[in-house]
Amino acid sequence: IKASIPEPQRAAWEKYAVKSFEGQEGFEREVVRHVETTLARSLFNCDEKAAYAATSLAFRDRLITDWNKTQQQHTYRDAKRVYYLSLEFLMGRALDNAMLNVGLKDTAKAGLADLGFRIEDIITQENDAALGNGGLGRLAACFLDSLASLDYPAWGYGLRYRYGIFKQEIIDGYQVEVPDYWLDFNPWEFPRHDVTVDIQFYGNVQKSADANGKTISVWDGGEVVQAVAYDVPIPGYATPTTNNLRLWSSKASGGEFDFQKFNNGDYESSVADQQRAETISAVLYPNDNLERGKELRLKQQYFWVAASLYDIVRRFKKSKRAWSEFPEQVAIQLNDTHPTLAIVELQRILIDVEGLDWDQAWAIVTNTFGYTNHTVLPEALEKWPVSLLQNLLPRHLQIIFDINLFFLQQVEKKFPDDRDMLRRVSIVEESQPKMIRMAYLAIVGSHKVNGVAELHSDLIQTTIFKDFVAIYGPDKFTNVTNGVTPRRWLHQANPRLSELIASKCGGNEFLTDLTNLSKLEQFVGDKDFRKEWAEIKYANKVRLAKHIKSTLGVTVNPAALFDIQVKRIHEYKRQQMNIFGVIHRYLTLKKMSPEERKKQLPRVSIFGGKAAPGYWMAKQIIHLINSVGSVVNNDADIGDLLKVIFLEDYNVSKAEIICPASDISEHISTAGTEASGTSNMKFVLNGGLIIGTCDGANIEITREVGENNIFLFGNLSEDVEDLRHAHTYGSHTIDSDLDAVFKEIEKGTFGTPHDFGALVAAVRQHGDYYLVSDDFHSYIETHRLVDEAYRNQDEWVSKCITAVARMGFFSSDRCINEYAESIWNVEPLPIKE
């Protein structure tokens, strides 16, 4: 690396090389320097925002040093890299994470105190980087943390949205969306105005001949938009490895054409071009588990994929290796089907630009890509109209047709005379209008396809991708159960529990090897330990109670059982069943005599989550929760026995306060619909138990923690189809407790009954697709068991400790190691000092 600096200058560069600050004194000096110079403020008007800015800049400088070293060594040592392509990275805040990962949080705390600030007040100044919707985006963020912490050479590629997921306000019980302009001050990104890629859209394809007379396709005309790279350093925990997240931003490519317009006095149209180009990366689509087929979304996908591939190919070409070595140097993982066009784009680059034959190129492509599926819900499976692709990406559509042709020929050989098979698996759906099935394209263009929990991976192989298992054999399909990073979701979110665990498990090793948690199990019988454990849970509940008081003005009793369901609002996740259950509890309490009531266990039912702006039913659910809350919370008969809370604007930084504060959390999707879930893991890791269905990763959590330490209920996924069929074609009887809930809603107890008519009708009249009625009785019964178990606090705390001790499997480190071994074939590359 040093050899890249010419001999005469090398000594000077080495002499003046930047040294990272050390110790509290060094940190304070850097903070003051940034306040006085970078921020041009005096110490007399340094408010918390400025202190946050200066602290971040001090840590950023530190990260850059490690980041440069990491990137130089990765380039020099020329190892295989992983590229994680994701339209969403739900990163949350960076400062706290950076301080913990470089091991200097205590130093910063002392330094800030010396300068007159409390570290908590500084950390909370930061806007969340909320470039994602929910689990899929957060998974990508946990993966980046693990990749860096495990020293894998890896890059993330995404879009730099100007607006992340909207901020949610609740006004009169309804969700209102407010734009999230998060970039007013973002010290964590580095604009690389020198790293740009021109991206082409529209235009035409011409056949012509190359110098050797070979026919080639030339895609020209149309419009060009420029992609500009913004880099975000991703520090690993307790390692110098600092990987890169590259986010692309769109702008008009200021070619001659624009200048001409400008000079001709056509100023307005030149500005309009500018704005149209910038629109591409302007806003994150706010849908979770739903695809709506908008042209701008397709433009986002191609823009991001084409820029990323250009970058990846450019980097590969610097090594001067043969093309056949590409898959030995490059592994690209597709986070759902959103980046599937990358398969087509790489094939296009190899055949149209680099002049490889089809077969040689296709072997490279398929050995490079892996595809992760995150849902079986039909409404979430991406399909693009052929006409849209024809217009926007004419050359890509031709290549897709060719991929499909060769694929179907292969299928025909294996299944002669099975025309129905060809129709079923064709990448081109022969519908009106014709559609491209992106999941099928992703399967055909990848060497491995994985689901995200065992049940989900089984389901994709036996239902939506069954034919592909018959065609390719079972080895192409695999499972990698999701995980979460214990750094953010235990150490950062729950510092006291983390410290207690460290004191029992021989230090912080559990943060890099989570299976060390198993050492906790020997302390389950230790009374003092249980007491300390319970005190920490109580303190975390107090912290959440304070948040509830300050944001909603409602007082909740931290000694009550905290029952939490926070996640995107979706019918399949069944927040409606939860609120129906709360109403049932309310009615039961109302019927009791005051003496009887005194014997009941107080409960706080806490909800949180965003509804997609266009998802009307989800918005009805939010409205019902809030309406029930305003009745129950003001009912003098009930007092502390039941409170219903809807937390506004659930996001990553709020999850860090919420997850440590649950006694029980709800993961109650209709069996077979939740691919994995990841908050289930976060809640158990923080010493809360779960009430859940046999769905997603709940099943593996049960296997690990033991059936006695989880509350499972409800129908199994193998029975869902028959139950649905019975609703439509047989007689559908509604559970009597649920019926009483509906009657209460219809009486107007929670406001105009008409407002909630659709929620009731979905169960009573419209087939109850999500099986709320079928599962309601066992749901209520299981909640009764939860109450009963909670009364015996000694046993409850023992269950919680046992569960945490057995959660080692659910680290995203384990998950990333599985991807590295079974899909990417990459090795860690620790940075040398």
N- to C-terminal Cα distance for the chain? 13
- CB under 6 A: which stretch of 13-21, 28-36, 423-431, 671-679 binds ligand GPQ? 671-679
Question: What's the sign of the alpha-carbon dihedral 101, 678, 676, 690?
Answer: positive
Count of residues that bind ligand GPQ according to CB under 6 A:
19
Q: Phi, psi at residue 677, to the nearest 5°?
A: 80, 145
User: Is residue 374 annotated as part of the catalytic site, yes or no?
Assistant: yes
Q: Which of 608, 677, 714, 808: binder of ligand GPQ (CB under 6 A)? A: 677
Task: Give alpha helix (H) positions in 292-376.
Answer: 295-318, 326-329, 341-348, 358-368
Which residues have CB under 8 Å from 756's CB, separation 6+? 620, 623, 624, 627, 745, 750
Q: Which of 82, 87, 108, 136: binder of ligand GPQ (CB under 6 A)? A: 136
Q: Which is nearer to ligand GPQ, 89 or 310 (CB)?
A: 89
- CB under 6 A: which stretch of 134-142, 401-409, 518-526, 621-629 binds ligand GPQ? 134-142
C-alpha distances out from residue 198 to 257, 262, 304, Å: 14, 21, 11
Q: Which of 133, 605, 620, 627: binder of ligand GPQ (CB under 6 A)? A: 133
Q: Which is nearer to ligand GPQ, 289 or 709 (CB)?
A: 289
- Yes or no: say if 610 and 166 are a contact pair by the CB < 8 Å rule: yes
C-alpha distances out from residue 763 to 292, 395, 733, 734, 753, Å: 25, 47, 10, 8, 15
User: Is residue 138 annotated as part of the catalytic site, yes or no?
Assistant: no
Q: Which of 102, 247, 393, 452: binder of ligand GPQ (CB under 6 A)? A: 452
Long-range contacts of 524-532 (CB under 8 A, 24+ apart): 524/798, 524/801, 524/802, 524/805, 525/798, 529/504, 529/801, 530/794, 530/797, 530/798, 530/801, 532/500
Min separation Cβ 225 and ligand GPQ, Å: 25
Q: Phi, psi at residue 244, to the nearest 5°?
A: -120, 135
What are 360's strand-pairing partners? Answer: none
User: Is residue 568 annotated as part of the catalytic site, yes or no?
Assistant: yes
Catalytic annotation, pick one of 160, 374, 488, 585: 374
Residues of this chain, 608-647, that bind ligand GPQ according to CB under 6 A? none
- Can you read off the two tokens belonging to residue 229? 């790279």
Q: Which is nearer to ligand GPQ, 139 or 234 (CB)?
A: 139
Q: Which of 129, 675, 705, 759: binder of ligand GPQ (CB under 6 A)? A: 675
Give Dmax over CA atoms of the chain in angstroms. Answer: 95
Q: How many residues in total does the chain contain?
A: 833
Task: By CB under 6 A, tell whether 288 contacts ligand GPQ.
Answer: yes
Min separation Cβ 815 and ligand GPQ, Å: 10
User: Is residue 541 annotated as part of the catalytic site, yes or no?
Assistant: no
Q: Which is nearer to ligand GPQ, 136 or 771 (CB)?
A: 136
Catalytic annotation, pick one of 107, 241, 242, 678: 678
Q: Which is nearer to ligand GPQ, 187 or 692 (CB)?
A: 692
The amino acid present at 772, given as its one-letter code, is V
Which residues have CB under 8 Å from 6's CB, separation 6+? none
User: Is residue 567 annotated as part of the catalytic site, yes or no?
Assistant: yes
Binding mask 306-345 for ligand GPQ (x = CB under 6 A): ------------------------------x---------
Q: Which of 139, 364, 611, 705: binder of ligand GPQ (CB under 6 A)? A: 139
Catalytic annotation, pick one of 105, 574, 585, 682: 682
The amino acid present at 780, given as its one-letter code, is I
Alpha-carbon torsion, ordered 298, 292, 335, 236, to 10 deg? 90
Q: Which is nearer to ligand GPQ, 123 or 136 (CB)?
A: 136
Min separation Cβ 138 and ligand GPQ, Å: 8
Q: Which is nearer to ligand GPQ, 375 or 709 (CB)?
A: 375
Min separation Cβ 650 and ligand GPQ, Å: 13
Binding mask 464-493 for ligand GPQ (x = CB under 6 A): ------------------x-----------
Q: Which of 301, 340, 375, 717: binder of ligand GPQ (CB under 6 A)? A: 375
Q: Which of 41, 167, 348, 374: binder of ligand GPQ (CB under 6 A)? A: 374
Min separation Cβ 811 and ligand GPQ, Å: 15
3-state secondary structure of 219: strand
The Cα–Cα gap between 392 and 402 comes to: 18
Residues of this chain, 511-550, that bind ligand GPQ according to CB under 6 A? none
Q: Which of 107, 289, 457, 715: binder of ligand GPQ (CB under 6 A)? A: 289
Task: By CB under 6 A, tell whether 134 contacts ligand GPQ.
Answer: yes
Bin 286: left if φ > 0, else alpha if -120 < ψ < 50, else beta: alpha
Residue nearest to ligand GPQ (CB): 135
- Can you read off the two tokens belonging to residue 738? 């649920």
Q: Which is nearer to ligand GPQ, 126 or 291 (CB)?
A: 291
Q: Which of 153, 327, 629, 696: binder of ligand GPQ (CB under 6 A)? A: 696
Which residues have CB under 8 Å from 746's CB, separation 6+? 753, 760
C-alpha distances out from residue 382 to 104, 451, 470, 573, 590, Å: 44, 16, 22, 21, 48
Which residues have CB under 8 Å from 271's CB, separation 6+? none
Min separation Cβ 68 and ligand GPQ, Å: 32
Task: By CB under 6 A, tell whether 649 contacts ligand GPQ.
Answer: no
Which residues have CB under 8 Å from 324's CB, separation 6+? 360, 364
Catalytic annotation, pick one of 567, 570, 610, 806: 567
- Yes or no: say if 248 and 160 are a contact pair by the CB < 8 Å rule: yes
Q: What is the DSSP string of 680-717?
A: HHHHHHTT-EEEE-S-TTHHHHHHHH-GGGSEE-S--H
Tell me how crowded residue 774 is: count the other CB atoms within 10 A of its CB.
24
Task: By CB under 6 A, tell whether 28 contacts ligand GPQ.
Answer: no
Task: By CB under 6 A, tell whether 676 contacts ligand GPQ.
Answer: yes
User: Is residue 610 annotated as part of the catalytic site, yes or no?
Assistant: no
The Cα–Cα gap between 579 and 668 comes to: 12
- Cis-peptide into 660, omega within 30 deg: no
Min separation Cβ 764 and ligand GPQ, Å: 27
Task: By CB under 6 A, tell whether 173 contacts ligand GPQ.
Answer: no
Q: Which is nearer to ligand GPQ, 404 or 680 (CB)?
A: 680
Residues of this chain, 379-418, that bind ligand GPQ according to CB under 6 A? 380
CA 8 to centroid of chain Cα atoms: 49
Q: Which is nearer to ligand GPQ, 135 or 327 (CB)?
A: 135
Catalytic residues: 374, 567-568, 573, 678, 682
Chain residues that interact with ligand GPQ, rule: CB under 6 A: 133-136, 139, 288-289, 336, 374-375, 380, 452, 482, 674-678, 696
